[in-house]
Amino acid sequence: MSKVGVIGAGSWGIALAKVLYTNGNQVSVWSIVESEIAMLKEKHEHVDKLPGVKLPEDMVFTTNLPEAINGMDYLILAVPSVFTRSTAKSMAPYVKAGQVIVCVAKGIEEATLMTLSEIVEQEIPAAEVAVMCGPSHAEEVGRGMPTTVVAGAKKRSIAEGVQDIFMNEVFRVYTSPDVLGMELGGSLKNVIALAAGMLDGLGYGDNTKAALITRGISEMSRLAMKMGAKAETLNGLTGIGDLIVTCESKHSRNRKAGMLMGQGYTMQQAMDEVKMVVEGVYSAKAAIALAKKYEVGMPIIEAVNKVLFENKSVKEAAAELMMRDKKSENSDLGWKE
């Protein structure tokens, strides 16, 4: 049994807390929001973000950050990506050497173009840092539906430790040393999922969605591999697997926000309607900045940025994508004549 502190009481943090508790770990959950912790203590359920998922009576809920950190073997960092740096700064004075911090949010910091694990390593150098991601909506994980994810770390022992505390008969965990590839896949797919939702909002069909997903993984892979990630990672659970579920699922907040924009909502109106952090909006500018830095063409992500930040209509952006210059699907393949 391990002692685990879950830092962040949103839907994903709560779903993972339940998995950890089910596996026999001692679990505490922290949130900075007092009303959220009061609700969890009273109801043992996050009635706003994960209704119907009941939590054990003896699970600990707290707003006291030192209490959530001190003596824990693992800290699951489950706050939205935009709060990763500020939360890590607050955690730093209490984290002891050797404690493992597992980043489970997905995003790239716009100002620095750093991944979340890089931010945590910078702010909390004493910690061992890992990541966990894959096709895994909280709504299904919380209800015990079979799910597979990947635990990544620079050290095999750290990744395998994360695998051990989470894995059970309905939550399968693989390991990987390609932390960069995992984080880029998990972040970039949110931007592609916004585009998928936009197409759904326009009423386009299966042909369109299949093309978007396929060309989307191509864009993600080009950038990630240029940055040093491995093709196998982008072709696995944290790349194409996560992309498929985020583009297709009714639970996807990125797809839902994109769908609303396809129906005519502004970006802000869509985010207000979703009522949760839409990670793709925050990763979109960072993604296009990385594309420019590494000189990689990413037309879908560029089109999403134009809709989000340049007031281009979704229909016009889609038409421009279709009418770009003629190309071969794979320029590495040669002709016999």
Tell me which of 121, 156, 177 is where a domain ends: 177
What pLDDT is recorded for position 129? Answer: 98
What pLDDT is recorded for position 333? Answer: 85
Say if residue 196 is in the same domain as residue 103. Answer: no
Tell me which of 156, 177, 198 is where a domain ends: 177
Say if residue 171 is in the same domain as residue 227. Answer: no
Say if residue 38 is in the same domain as residue 159. Answer: yes
Tell me which of 155, 177, 199 is where a domain ends: 177
Say if residue 138 is in the same domain as residue 215. Answer: no
Say if residue 11 is in the same domain as residue 139. Answer: yes
Say if residue 52 is in the same domain as residue 126. Answer: yes
Say if residue 163 is in the same domain as residue 187. Answer: no
Say if residue 75 is in the same domain as residue 224. Answer: no
What pLDDT is recorded for position 317? Answer: 94
- Residue 1 class from Cβ within 10 Å (0-12 exposed, 13-18 middle, 19+ buried)? exposed
What pLDDT is recorded for position 88? Answer: 98
- What is the pTM for the complete model shown? 0.94
For residue 337, is it within any domain?
A: no
For residue 220, is it within any domain?
A: yes
Could you tell me the mean pLDDT of each successive run of 10 residues in the chain, 337 residues long? 96 97 97 96 94 94 97 97 96 97 95 97 97 96 97 98 98 98 95 95 95 95 96 96 94 92 92 84 92 96 94 93 88 82
CATH code at position 155: 3.40.50.720
For residue 335, is it within any domain?
A: no
Say if residue 203 is in the same domain as residue 259. Answer: yes
Q: Which domain holds residue 24?
A: 3-177
* Catalytic sites, residue numbers: 189
Domain count, the chain: 2
